[in-house]
Amino acid sequence: MFFKKKSFKKYTAVSVEELPDFTLHKQVYPLQEKIQTLFSYDSSSQEFRKVYHQILKDMYQFPYLYVALSMQGYDQKLNVSKPLISTKDQGIPTIYLFTSYAIAEAWCKHYQHYNQEGYLLGILYKDEMDYQSIYRIASMMQVERIMLNEGDCYLNVLLQDMLNINEIPIIVRKQLLEEELKKPENDISFASCRLIERIK
């Protein structure tokens, strides 16, 4: 069973058969092919920038993405957690997104990123404005990168590139944020996501 967010702090169950992978899987492969093509170009070339730009456009238009959730922030009573911000790669704050459940599940297994309730994974939906929310809040929390499909044909994306290329506005200026974040009443954090039930 999967859980899809319908509104703030409200969730409804969705069967595994209704996961996006089963109905939209044909959209995954062109994106993966573009990532493979990207690395055939020199990173300083115009061709590289053009393909990279298109990949970030495609990512933002993708109907859904899976997101790794935090183990430390897990709420057992509600079976929810918030998106993981990891610094395991050279100390750079990063969020982890996946285009398919299979890639996300393999990542969780490799890093033992699960608990007694399930893999620490949530899902973001384009049509529910989840992308704007996570990217904007991540920027406010000083996240620098998005790791897409780590463990498969992966891409390490600058969060600022995602914001700029897709013209996602950041309302709070960083200068103001650094001062305001010190006040508890202005704490900024991700919305919670419910976990997938663990597959036995």
Average pLDDT over residues 16-36: 65
Answer yes or no: is pLDDT of 128 > 50: yes
What the chain holds in terms of domains, given with CATH numbers, is: 2-194 (3.40.1350.90)
The percent of residues in the chain predicted with pLDDT above 90, rounded, is 41
Answer yes or no: is pLDDT of 80 > 60: yes
pLDDT band at 102 (very low <50, low <70, confident <90, very high): confident
Q: 94-98 and 145-148 as β-strands: parallel, antiparallel, unpaired?
A: parallel
End-to-end CA distance of the chain: 12
The alpha-helical segments, DSSP class H, found in 89-158 are 101-110, 130-140
In one-letter notation, the amino acid at residue 143 is V
Bridge partners, 2 (sequence order): 14
pLDDT, residue 75, reads 87
Phi, psi of 189 (to 5 degrees): -155, 165
Average pLDDT over residues 71-89: 87
